[in-house]
Structure 1
């Protein structure tokens, strides 16, 4: 299990948590908009114009690449493979490598300020691992926090049960705000998602040697929570657990969308994200 670092538990005892729930927007909400949202909220929270925020989001059939993925020698072949399978392809502005998003994957962004106290990288990861532990406690799930090297987007804060990964965590730091982001494979087939990314790397690498070592993806090491628990667990169930947990910390929950001043920031960051993405996917 995760280390019981005091920061992990104290972080959630905020007077107010702002909630931005975007899990039901469907195809009208593009994944690039998500990354612009988190940049906007980092800036707003870092300048103390917003309380700490939890944002939840779901995107249909999208593969999110990391910056290193954009340097693959045959990237255009890999991107075409993903598009042929019905997936949109974008490059994110936080760390990590390729991940799959679809209707069965819940994403959570925990966005907090660094005004009073510097938040080291591991503390941010530990906080989201702790939150995941609370969300899954009703299901009796005990998970490990360690790197699953043959998963897609491997990292030392991979969450797994019996060596099968169901979640990964990344971070984004901007203008005094920290966004710690997790994807949770809730329903669907973990191995099918991994098979897709395996095919992407095969076509993007071919026989070319690279200085950076990309993961050799084994579909058997990926699973969804529904597969691991053999229960009909749904994203809506975890959202209920999230709200319940935050209320139990004595926090007031404030549901909202962006303010007028944040919308102006959002327009700026969205334009920047789109331009960066176009250069990464198609540098010509």
Structure 2
């Protein structure tokens, strides 16, 4: 039995599929949704949950990205490429969202005991490996130098990164989030972020060490596995995996009685984003 089995093999999973419905909405809504689930699951008002989400062309900037000395020169390059930008009030650096990127959030409760940060990462690593049996243990977790938003739990195959994991903790809830570059060109996405830093730094030295992006270090799963894998395929696999892991899978979005909480968290993330932009 794997250490992660106790988190993944549960009586009931809740599954919120927003792989289509979230596409035209702001990614800020996804941050609000995960905060809402953190509180609901953390306070055991909901079973553990998995949410899948996809957004149209968006670059999510971290706080440090927003402090680039020449950000005003970089943003027009991003916007002219057809991407909107938002700022998240949390750790991490810029990531790319588009229709070829499937985001998965696993939300767990700490009511029965604390979940340390490495355990949270391991849960998602195990989940992704189960989703992709054709890759299995070839999926490794270590920092891919030259990728965007590098971290010790970058997921890669053959040294090329296709995913990154982050965590959000709130009200005894833990949301472990992964972006999976499923289809399209991983290096093209990385090139866009490389331009962000190139223009945003403008040759200046900064106290914070921004990553030196090398686009060839990133690829999509379709490229790495050599199969025509799509976001729709992987989203279906998520649903099938949850049915294999639990006795019951509850489908559907937020209930009417949960929407007030979601509205509260949405207003909070919108206000924070506006404050970050105002500081720019």
User: What's the TM-score bracket when you normalise by the shorter of the two chains?
Assistant: over 0.9
1:196-226 CA distance string (max 9 Å, x none): 0000001111122211111000000000001
Structure 1 residues 231 and 32, CA, compared in 2 at 3 Å: closer, same or farther? same
Mapped contact 1:95–1:171 kept (Cα < 8 A): no
Q: Kindly state the Cα deviation for residue 268 of structure 1 after the two structures are TM-superposed.
A: 1.2
Q: Kindly state the Cα deviation for residue 38 of structure 1 after the two structures are TM-superposed.
A: 0.5
Distance, in Å, in 2 between the alignment partners of 1:18 and 1:227 is: 31
Distance, in Å, in 2 between the alignment partners of 1:128 and 1:259 is: 26
Q: Kindly state the Cα deviation for residue 98 of structure 1 after the two structures are TM-superposed.
A: 0.4
Distance, in Å, in 2 between the alignment partners of 1:240 and 1:109 is: 15
1:239-268 CA distance string (max 9 Å, x none): 222222222223310002112232111111
Cross-structure match for 1:31: 27
Distance, in Å, in 1 between the alignment partners of 2:122 and 2:5 is: 10
Structure 1 runs of 4+ with >4 Å offset: none
Structure 1 residues 27 and 135, CA, compared in 2 at 3 Å: closer, same or farther? closer
Select between 226-235 and 24-33 the one with higher mean Cα deviation.
24-33
Distance, in Å, in 1 between the alignment partners of 2:61 and 2:170 is: 20
Cross-structure match for 2:273: 277
1:107-151 CA distance string (max 9 Å, x none): 000011111110000110110011000001045672211100110
Name the SS of the counterpart of 1:209 in structure 2. Answer: coil
Name the SS of the counterpart of 2:133 in structure 1. Answer: helix
Name the SS of the counterpart of 1:248 in structure 2. Answer: helix
Mapped contact 1:94–1:170 kept (Cα < 8 A): no
Cross-structure match for 2:80: 84
Cross-structure match for 1:116: 112
Cross-structure match for 1:157: 153
Q: Kindly state the Cα deviation for residue 94 of structure 1 after the two structures are TM-superposed.
A: 4.0
Q: Kindly state the Cα deviation for residue 71 of structure 1 after the two structures are TM-superposed.
A: 1.6
Distance, in Å, in 2 between the alignment partners of 1:140 and 1:146 is: 16
Q: TM-score, normalised by structure 1?
A: 0.94
Select between 90-99 and 267-276 the one with higher mean Cα deviation.
90-99
Select between 206-215 and 20-29 the one with higher mean Cα deviation.
20-29
Structure 1 residues 110 and 27, CA, compared in 2 at 3 Å: closer, same or farther? closer
Mapped contact 1:95–1:172 kept (Cα < 8 A): no
Structure 1 residues 120 and 47, CA, compared in 2 at 3 Å: closer, same or farther? same
Cross-structure match for 1:144: 140
Count of paired positions: 280
Structure 1 gap segments, 5+ residues each? none
Structure 2 gap segments, 5+ residues each? none
Name the SS of the counterpart of 2:205 in structure 1. Answer: coil
Distance, in Å, in 1 between the alignment partners of 2:51 and 2:243 is: 16
Q: Does 1:195 align with 2:191?
A: yes
1:149-200 CA distance string (max 9 Å, x none): 1100000000111111000000000111110000000000000000000000
Distance, in Å, in 1 between the alignment partners of 2:136 and 2:33 is: 33
Structure 1 residues 251 and 65, CA, compared in 2 at 3 Å: closer, same or farther? farther
Distance, in Å, in 2 between the alignment partners of 1:270 and 1:193 is: 27
Mapped contact 1:145–1:157 kept (Cα < 8 A): yes
